[in-house]
Structure 1
Amino acid sequence: MSELIPVNIVIADRNYRLRIEPKDEEMVRKTAGLINDKITEFKANLAGKDMQDYVSMVLLWFATEQNQSGIELVKWQEASQKLAALERQLDRALEEGA
């Protein structure tokens, strides 16, 4: 296990000091940037009372995106299984014909 490094991340105008593995730093910074970009987008396009409203909207957006990604993964896995079954049927048919 590698040594944890301290990083400062700003989300919704608040500073957070985290200790993470060096390999995760780029991903954490990109994710924080994406969160802040979405907050800015929601502030420009939707009515909200305070920053908590925008953070909540981003959380809902993120959870929905993750759910959609999971659904897409399941669809790809099902398609892969069906293709593998079709391949086995073709192999059997070719073996029988030979």
Structure 2
Amino acid sequence: MEDLIPVTLWIAGRGYRIRIRKEDEAAVRLAVKIADERVNELRNSFAGKDDQDFIAMCLLMYATDQVTEANALNPVQKELVGNMTAKIDKLIGEG
């Protein structure tokens, strides 16, 4: 059985306790950060809704992205690639 670690992740001010593989923690936390930012963007754009509405809208946007951009990178992958590219550029610049 895989070794799982417990983590608490916060989306829209609410904590969710889950168990994940240690090597997945950075990617999961990045995904949560992106989701929480998207929820906050929705909250600022649409007044009068509650957090459950914003989370549902965020989920629908994510699912739509997966269907319409099947061959494209998702937001988490884009950010990871961007971070790796920045690190590579920095290392090349130091050489």
Maintained 8 Å contact 1:10/1:32: yes
Superposition misfits of 4+ residues, deviation over 4 angstroms: none
Gaps of at least 5 residues in structure 2 are 74-95
Cα distance, 1:29 vs structure 2 = 0.3
Equivalent position amino acid for 1:26 in 2: A
Show the counterpart of 2:17.
Answer: 17
Letter in 2 for 1:6: P
Normalising by structure 2, we get a TM-score of 0.68
Q: Which consecutive unaligned segments of at least 5 residues does structure 1 have?
A: 74-98
Q: Which moved more, 1:64-73 or 1:9-18?
A: 64-73
Identity %: 41
| Alignment RMSD | 1.9
Which residues in structure 2 correspond to 1:1-98 (within 5 Å)?
A: 2-70=2-70
Q: Kindly tell me: are residues 42 and 17 of structure 1, through their superposed partners in 2, closer, same or farther at Cα, counting changes over 3 Å?
A: same
- Report how many residues are paired: 73
Displacement, 1:23? 1.0
